[in-house]
Structure formats: structure tokens, C-alpha cells
Homo-oligomer: A and B are copies of this chain.
Amino acid sequence: MSDGNTGVPHMVTAAVGARLPGQVRAADYEACPVTHTVRMLGDKWTLLVLMLLAERAHRFNELHRRADGISQRMLTRTLRTLEDDGLVARTVFPTVPPGVEYDLTARGRELLVPLSALADWVVQGRAA
């Protein structure tokens, strides 16, 4: 409720059923959590990492190998963002050398549902 939004709480939800203000302020659009989500999904490696983790948990270098072309830097960054957003859990095993496992959280798995719906829409468009 009191999340600091000034009138455009969840733009997409609002737009399908309701009306947007006469002018959508840039700050509101940028602050919208839906905007944040599609931005994150849209950057170069997020979707791929998400799909790999949807299959099963992975070690860092495992992801690095399976995601052809990704740099260590970007894999780290992508995983960090996903972790910060609560979609991925990071578990460290105090072995020698240390092992780190990444896996989807419950919320991360829930995201796969609307994501599949989106993918279905994409596929439908090609069939038609």
C-alpha cells in the first residue's frame, strides 16, 4: 500500500483494467516494479541463466560452461542481481576448493509460470 508510488502502482496491471494518468511521469515509470522486472529479464544473460537453473541447481563453472559466450564478470553480475531480487539462492560449501551452488528460490520457480505463458504467446504468433 504505502510503497511510495505516486499514482502508477503497477502499470501493466492498471493499464489492462484501468486508466493511466494523463501524463505518466518518468520517475513513476522507472520506479514501477514491473518495469524493473522486464528490464532485468531483458538484459543479455538473465533469461538464459534462469532457464538453466530451471532445469536444476548449478555450480558457478557449470553455468559458465553451459552458457556459451558469457564472461565470468557477467555471470557473476547476473547471478547477483537474481539473488538480490530473491529469485536465486546462493549456497556455499566450505570444501577445498570452495564450491558454490546456485538454485532457483520458490519465487524464482513461480516466475517460470508467467514466463511460460509469454513463451506460449511467442510460439502462437509463429504458428499463425
Chain A contacts to B: CB under 8 angstroms: 3, 10-16, 19-20, 22-26, 29, 33-35, 37-43, 47-48, 51-52, 54-55, 65-69, 86, 107, 110-126
- Interfacial chain B residues near A39, Cβ < 8 Å: 42
On whether the beta carbons of B41 and A38 are closer than 8 Å, the reply is yes
Chain copies in the assembly? 2
Q: Which residue of B lies closest to A112 (CB)?
A: B16
Listed by A's residue number, 27 A-B pairs whose Cβ atoms lie within 8 Å are: A10-B122, A10-B123, A12-B118, A12-B119, A13-B120, A14-B51, A15-B54, A15-B55, A16-B112, A20-B55, A24-B66, A24-B68, A33-B122, A33-B123, A33-B126, A34-B118, A35-B48, A38-B38, A41-B41, A41-B42, A111-B121, A113-B121, A114-B114, A114-B120, A117-B117, A117-B118, A118-B118
Beyond A12-B47, A41-B41, A66-B24, is A110–B121 a contact (Cβ under 8 Å)? yes
